[in-house]
Amino acid sequence: MAQNTERLEAIMTAAPVIAVLIVNDPHKAVAMAQALIRGGIPGIEITLRTPNALDCIKAISDSVEGALVGAGTVLTHHQYEAAVKAGSTFVVSPGATDNLIAAAEEFTQVPLLPGASSPSEVMKLLEIGYERLKFFPAVPAGGTPMLKSLSSPFAAAKFCPTGGIHIGNANDFLALPNVLCVGGSWIADARAIETEDWVGIEQRAREAAALIV
């Protein structure tokens, strides 16, 4: 069974940036998501790196209209299932395993954006029908030169580079023909969330939403 490309691409093209976030307080997560939406960034990836990450996903899913909230750093079938139950609209993983692909085939309504950083990994994912991929870790794995080199031999693959992306280099990635969006944490970093800097988050979201596509 192939990737749910149509549903995933709609999420990837909703804005130039998917906000990648580490948050543990569901109340703050809701206020943060509202600020992102006001700024024009609906794609929200809550990484499963805190004890209450799933609760944060559920809170956003239940109460923030227009949010396309997903779960990131999903490593196992169990985490995938839990992310779906929490209300995720998509799932992101730093890589791809048979176990994760099996979970994606079980929960086709919640598509998987799997990570890849080498030609062999891209080839394996294309072989099983996965054409929308996360390029991770983007900058350490070769940045824009690496993505350019992947464009010609793998024309069907379109990427969301994540890892080392910020407002200063995001346009360099977005200008590439095989990049649909980028993932970044600069819009709402841990300090901004902890200090409840919703105004600052909204402003950075507006800047991100205005990036080239």
> In this structure, what token pair is assigned to residue 190?
């841990």
Selected catalytic residue, list 28, 58, 131, 134: 134
Residue 85 annotated to the active site? no
Q: How far is CA 66 from CA 35, 43, 168, 182, in A?
A: 12, 9, 27, 19
Label residues 31-68 b or e (16+ Cβ within 10 Å = b). Answer: bbbbbbbbbbbbbbbbbbebeebbbbbbbbbeebeebb
Selected catalytic residue, list 45, 131, 158, 202: 45
Q: How far is CA 208 from CA 42, 169, 170, in A?
A: 11, 11, 9
Q: Which of 100, 102, 123, 90 is nearest to 13 (CA)?
A: 90
**Cα–Cα distance for residue pair 6/12, rounded to 1 Å:** 10
Residue 58 annotated to the active site? no
Q: What are 46's strand-pairing partners?
A: 21, 71
Q: Which of 104, 92, 146 is nearest to 128 (CA)?
A: 104
What is the set of active-site residues?
45, 134
